[in-house]
Structure formats: structure tokens, C-alpha cells
Amino acid sequence: MLHLQKKLSFKFSWRSYQEKFLENFESHKEDDHLHVVAPPGSGKTVLGLEMVRRVDKKTLILAPTLTVRNQWKNRLEEFFIEDSSFKAFSTEIYSPSALTFSTYQSLHALDKRLNDSGESLFAFFKNNKIETLVLDEAHHLKNEWYNCLISLKAIPGITVIALTATPPYDSSSVELNKYFDLCGPIDEEIAVPELVKNKNLCPHQDYVYLSRPSEKQIQFILEYRQKCLVFFNSLVANQSFIDFLLAHPFYTSTQKYLEEIYERPSVFASILIFLNEVGIVIEKDKLEVLGVQEKKVIFPKLNYQWLETLLQDILVVDRERFVNDEELLGKLESTLRKIGVFQKNKVDFVGNQELYKSLTTSPSKLNSINEILKQESASLTSGLRAVVLTDFIRKEFLSFSDEDTDLINQLGVVPVFQFLRIKGNVNKADMAVLTGSLIILHKKLLKVLEGLLEQGSIVKSELETDPDFLKIDIQGSYKNRIVAIITELFEQGLIKMLIGTKALLGEGWDAPSINTLVLASYVGSFVSSNQMRGRAIRINPANENKTGNIWHLGCVDPSREDGGDDILNLNRRFDAFCGISYSDSTYIENGIERLHLIQSSVGFTEIDAHNDKALLRAKERNKLAGKWTEAISSGRVLVQEVKVAYKDHMPYSKAKRLLTVNVTKFLLIEVLTGIAFFLPEFVLKNIGTLLNKGALYFIYLLLAGIFLGFAPKTWKALKLYMLFGNTFKKTYKIGRCLLEVLKEYKLVNPKIRREDVKVERFENGSFACYLSGANNHESSLFVNYLQEIINPVENPRYLVKSTNWFKRKLGIRNYYVVPGDFGKRKSDAILYHRSWIKYVGRSKLIYTRTLAGRKELLKARMAHIMQHVSDNATKAVTWK
């Protein structure tokens, strides 16, 4: 025993959620795992040190960066050591102390060094008696780091303490299982709403500011799209290419090449779609290969995606097969290369990486930053504490003079600084730059800085293009303290706008006064964006009314309905965090939909309207706390769920009637209403028949008329009723099936009941399915598996096929995936299928690795294209 409980003690009061966790500490540590999930700013580091103190064994604490490592050491000194008597801590992993602070990189380097000398990390831990391992932000782990850590878990009695803000819920189930194998089950997960409620995080909101590409970028995009369109139209009219496809072995000898077609079904489909587009009648036997058996087939339109699939195959994948057609293919390749569609052996009509990068780093975002800071400065005046985070420094822009502003064509720390300095509508004396290798301060701060540092430790030089600013270099021991010193100047308000890199300020850096954060970074990963955002949502002890505005920048591609890749990148980023919705009812949810961002057919006028609305909402900081209070009162826990959008062609208002009114009554009303109009007209027209041939013949004609007139309508109504709600009801049944399988494999708490599978429908017709009463790990497993089951089929080992003839005839989806983890062994798949039959209905289990199975797999994969099956599900997190 190290007697850490006597030597160390927490100096302050615990927050409520920390106290709640510590009350159950002994039961949490019974399995030698302690796993806590909580957002940035919630006090994870301090809680981690208290856990180390209570476990009371020699400990190695691992952090993702040196900044975070140093933060652990600083927290120990500030919060747990009364005087300087406790010295048993170190940052040297090669000579560990009672508490050793290090990084994952250093551990990996130690492992490699030991292996090179014929030793092992396992033996190193045993010899140095390290018995507790703290993993801070373990979602950072690379494979090689994970491998050496998992090997250490074999040490008898070792305790693993895991702390993170962001478990890798967006990863595959395999990666997620690896994470939990290392960190253990979650003992406590603290939700953002709970922390806002307890005033451990401040009320905050996300905003998106959209921009137009520059004129030069727009011209480039439009020219690119025009070239693609000209090529598309010329290829459709190219008889030589049509003849080439008609002679393609997949088309001429379909049965002979079935094996290859099953390997590359989308290629075969693209050939048929192209030929259909140019007026060729496709023979029935070729359609049957794709699993299409309807008499009337509605082909998908030939688009760029299908053309990419087709050309990628004949120009790259299967080129050697067509040596006799090299003249034709060579001309096609040459044309595609000239217009920029064919690069690095890849056909891409949507746009190459150069085009995407030009939008993600568009100089139009510089003006966006200017407009945001202009408003935030006017709104908060002297209270403004704004940080702009970006990816690169770009020192080459330092020499740009005031006349060169229009030449600033990239996003970066220096471009942002130069743009704001020259053209910005903000007070330039409020600005500063802080990165690992570049510090720029206004000259008004020089005396303050000199007062904080020893004489001679500052090396300064005037900025070449503006003598009001100084480039600062720090010499000697103060070099390691300069970030803390600049941060203090920011906290005091001597600096109101700080521009830096996400590498330095995005994680581990702490400045509680931040109330405006502009994310000028185009990295959209789940983890990175959440860490950066965490800078702005911390409470400020000096200002209990603090609110945080987080701004995200998007540059719209006007030639794409979805807004382009920069907007799609924003969508991915917003999956990482939850916040207040902008809808009729205030609620808390993740995803960009809560902001009602324009995402399709985005016009320039709409962009302006959106930005105006975003700026107006951002100005209303006084309403934020009330919105959070209202939303928090409507729930008690964050729930992970699968959302399925309503995509039927029939308006939801009409479809809703079919759901809420008994179908028999509905059909009766439809028929009686029709007869009320039909009968008088029929009697008038057939009065002669009644008089001449008698009442019996007249009644016969009447019934025949009613049948012919209303049977199609009755069938249509019945079909709509069967289609509508089928996905809703079936998803509920699948959820119950999945829960039983998870319980069978002991992956969820056995106390969770079938009734805990919930399905809720929303006003817009979409619905969500989730598991009530489960912890986050269990919810995540349930959601990941459910999404895998109901999304379009790709390449599973096992499929479940419905054997309900009537529903198949109605066009209701009849292929579903057996999740990969339950399809690795036949016995697992059979167990899963048994549950499916019990809860979902009669079906057949299909192994897709045989020739017959591959044929069924092809039918399943093509169903969502040819039969318009669209059960695409997305994951969401909602406060309920």
C-alpha cells in the first residue's frame, strides 16, 4: 500500500454527480474496472485522481497529448497536495514513481524499446509494481497502442480506470467491442443536459454560418459540371459505345458469366440502366438475374453514379478484357482526363478532392468569421471572449500587405488574423495569435507581458506589415509557461479574440471565460469536433451567467442539391454532440436537423436568410438558459435510438388517416361515398334495361359496375394501408427479436423486458426505435445492430427472407440482414433466426456464400434500387 489516502486529499467540495459516483465506488471497482464518461469541463481529471487515491496502488496515467499529461500533473498539485511534502510523482515513464504521468505514444515507444532489447512491457510493469492503469480519452487509441495495453490487462489484479468524453459510438461494432474489452463496462455516464441542469456546464447553442464560394470557385465548379454534362450527353448519343455495351459479355452471355455478375452486380445493373436510357428493350431473363420479376419495371434514371460504376469497371477494373476495343476506351479515358473526371485511376463525376478542398478551405469563410465576430463583439462588447480554431498556421501569409488582402485564398491562423486586421469590422487591438510556433500580440500588451516575465526572456519583433503588432519569442524556462500566460491575458479581457490551432487549443487547453467559439477547422471526426467544442461549454466561476455560442462554417456547392461535401462534413460533425432544437417544441437532440439547416436545393437567397436568422438567434443569449431549463424538464436521460424517415409518396396527413381509422370503416366510407355519386347516374342510364329485362338483370349489371368501378380503388386503399405502418410495426418486432438475442448472449441486462423496446412516431411521419432502461453501452449495441439489420443489404454472410407471399406481392420489403456478429457461425445465425420467426414472422435463413445464396444476395441488394426500398436508418441521441 502506498497510503495515498493519507498523503493526498481533495481540497474542495465534490460536484453532485462526482459525489454520487464516489458513494458507490467500492461496488464499481469490484471488477477491477472503473469507467466514467462525461463531457469536457465536467471534472473528469479530478475525479480520476480521486479514484487513483482510493485504489491506492502504484499508477501509470496515460494521456493523448503532452498538454493533457501536464494538466493531470497540475490538477494533482492544485487540488490534492496541501504543501510540497508529496513528491512521489513523475513524468518519466522509464523510471516510474508512485504516480507517473505519460502519453500513449511514450508507452508505445517504451514497448518497442523493451522488445528490441529482448524484454517485455508485461515484465516492466511487474518489476516496477505498477498495478493501476489510467486511460484518459481512450478513444484516441491506435491499433498498436491498443495491442500493448490489452496485453497489460493479463497482469493479475491490475485495475483499469478509463475516462472519456466521447466513446467511439460512431465506430463499427468490432471497434466498439474492442474499446469496451479494454475499458470495461461504463460505470457512470454523465449527460450534458444533467450537467447544464446542475450548472456544471453553461447553457450553449450551435450555429451554422453558410458562405458562397468565391466567383473564381463558382466559375470552376460550373465549368466542371458543364464539362461533365457535355460528356454525359455525348456518351448517351455515342453509337460506338452503345454497340460496345451490347457486345459486353455480361449482356450477350449473361448465364455464362453469372459468377462474375454476382461478384459485381452493380456493374451489370449499370449496363442495363444505360441501355434502357438509350431506348434498348431489356429482355426479361436479364432482369430476373437482378431479382426483378415485376411485369412492369420502372428503371432508375441513368445518373452520374451509375455512369461512374460503369466506366470505372471498363476503364480500370476489367480493362484487359477489352483489348480489341482499346481505341474506343482510350478516347473515353483521354476525354475524362481532360475534364478532370479521371484521376489516379478513379472515375469521379461528383468532383475531385481539389474541388472539395477548395470549398472546405474557401476564403469565403474568412468573411464568415468576420461577420460572426462583428456581431458577437457588438452584442457582448467588453465581455467578448472569442476563440477561432483552425487546422494550419500558414506563416507564408505573414508578409501580405494591406493591399494583398484579395490574394488571401486559404483558411488558416495567419490568413484569419490578416483578414480581420485589414478588412475586419472588429477592434484589431483585441486580437492575438497563439500557436505552438507563432505568437502575435498587440503592442499595448508588451508592458503587461514584460511584467510577468524575467528581463531578457522576451525576444520581440514588429510585424513587417503592421508595426502595431509584435511577434513574440520566449527564451529560457518561461518558454513552457507562455501558453498559460497568454491564456491569463485572455481571461482578464486584455485579449478578446484569440486565433489559434486546434492542435494547441483544441484539447486539454482550459480558458473558462470563452463565450464564442468559431470552428474554422474542416476536420469532422466524431471525437475531434466534440473536444474542440468542449472549450466553450465550460462554466466560468467569475461569470455565473455565462452562455456559449459555437459557430460552425460551411461553404455551399451551388451545383449539388445536398450542398456539397463541406455541408455533409458538418452533418457528420453534429452527430458528435447534442443541444437545443429549433422547432415548435423545445427538446434536446444530436444531429444537424435540430437547427433546421437548409440542406437541399440551397439557393444564394436562402443562404442569406439562413445566416440572418442564425445571427439573430445568436444575439438572443438571454433566452438560452430558459430553453435549456424547458428542454431538460421534458426528460431525464439521453437515449440512443434509430430514426427512420417517412418517405412515402402519399402525404403523411392522408397516410395518418389510414393508420388511425379502422381500415374496414375507411374502405366502407370510400365505397359508399362512391356509390352515392355512381348510383343515380347508373339508374338514369340503365332505366330501359330495368323495364325491358327485369330487376334481376339490372341488379346483376349494378353489382358488376360497382365491382369494376370500386375493386381497384378498394385494392389500392388496402395496399396503402398495408404499406403504411409496415416499417413502423416491423421495426418494433425486429427490436424485440434483437433484444431476445442480446439477452441470450448476455450482452444486455437480463432484467430488460420486451416492453422496453419502444417505437415512437413523430408529427412528420418519421419514427424512432430505442431500448428503454438500458445503459449507454447496451443502448449503443442495440442501435448499431438494429441499424445494420434494417439498412439496405450490402454483403452479409446470412440473410433473412420473408416467406409471406401476400406481402411480397404488395412490394413490402422481404430481405433483412443478419448482423455480422451473429452471422459468424451457423449456430449463431440459427439462434438469431429462431428469434426472428418468433417475433417477426415466417421466414427463411439464407447463407450467401453459396452460388444460390449469392443469387439471393444480389436480389436483396438490388431491391432498394429497382423496387425503391428505402428503409435507411440513422442513429440519433435524444433526451427523453
- The answer as to CATH 3.40.1190.20 being correct for domain 204-214+359-434+484-633 is no
pLDDT confidence tier of residue 56, bands split at 50, 70 and 90: very high
Q: What is the pLDDT of residues 576-629, one digit of tens each?
A: 788 999 877 788 998 888 887 765 444 556 888 899 999 999 999 999 999 999
Quote the CA–CA distance of 867 and 291 in Å, as a whole number. 10
Reply yes or no on whether the pLDDT at 709 is more than 80. no
* CATH architecture for residues 4-190: 3-Layer(aba) Sandwich (3.40)
Nearest to 53 by CA among 11, 1, 85, 5: 5
Kindly state the average pLDDT of the residues 454-460.
83
- Asked if the model's pLDDT at residue 467 lies above 70, the reply is yes
Amino acid letter for position 365:
K
**Residue type present at position 426:** V
Q: Where in the chain is the domain with CATH 3.40.50.300?
A: 4-190, 204-214+359-434+484-633
End-to-end Cα spacing for the chain: 45
pLDDT at 668: 56
Q: What is the pLDDT of residues 297-351, one digit of tens each?
A: 778 889 999 999 999 999 999 999 999 999 999 999 999 999 989 988 999 887 6
**Does residue 259 register a pLDDT over 60?**
yes
Q: What is the pLDDT of residues 487-536, one digit of tens each?
A: 999 999 999 999 999 888 876 688 999 999 999 987 655 566 777 888 89
Residue 846 confidence (pLDDT): 95
pLDDT in tens, 407-429: 888 899 999 999 999 988 899 99
DSSP assignment letter at 540: B
pLDDT over threshold 60, residue 31: yes
The C-alpha atoms of residue 389 and residue 376 are separated, in whole angstroms, by 16
Q: Which burial class, exposed, middle or buried, applies to 413 when counting CB atoms under 10 A from its CB (0-12, 13-18, 19+)?
A: buried
- Classify residue 756 by its DSSP letter: G
Please give the sequence-ordered ranges of beta strands (E in DSSP) within 556-633, or none if there are none: 578-580, 588-590
pLDDT one-digit tens code per residue, 264-278 = 888 998 999 999 999
pLDDT for residue 733 is more than 90: yes
**Short-list 93, 86, 84, CA closest to 49:** 86
Query: Is the predicted pLDDT of residue 649 greater than 60, yes or no?
Result: no
User: Grid coordinates standing for 128?
Assistant: 516496477
DSSP string, 87-106: --EES-TTS--SEEEEEHHH
The DSSP element (H or E) to which 159 belongs, if any, is: strand 159-164
What pTM does this model have? 0.81
pLDDT-derived band at 869 (thresholds 50, 70, 90) equals very low
Long-range residue pairs from 145-154, CB within 8 A, at least 24 positions apart, any chain: 145/104, 145/105, 145/107, 145/108, 146/178, 146/182, 148/107, 148/108, 148/111, 148/121, 149/107, 149/182, 150/181, 150/182, 151/121, 151/122, 152/121, 152/122, 152/125, 153/182, 154/122
How many whole angstroms separate alpha carbon 245 and alpha carbon 234?
A: 15
Q: How far is residue 533's CA from residue 247's CA, in Å, rounded to a whole number?
A: 57
Q: Would you tell me how many other CB atoms lie within 10 Å of the CB of residue 873?
A: 22
Least confident range of 113-127, 662-676, 723-737 = 662-676
Q: How much is the pLDDT for 398? A: 93
- Which residue, chain included where needed, has cell 491506435? 142
pLDDT at 746 over 80: yes
3-state secondary structure of 826: helix
- Tell me the one-letter amino acid at 202: C
Residue 734: its pLDDT value, please?
Answer: 95
The pLDDT, as a whole number, for residue 137 is 83
β pairing state of 548-555 and 204-211 = parallel
If you average pLDDT over every residue of the chain, what do you get? 85
| Residue 431, C-alpha cell as written in the block | 486580437
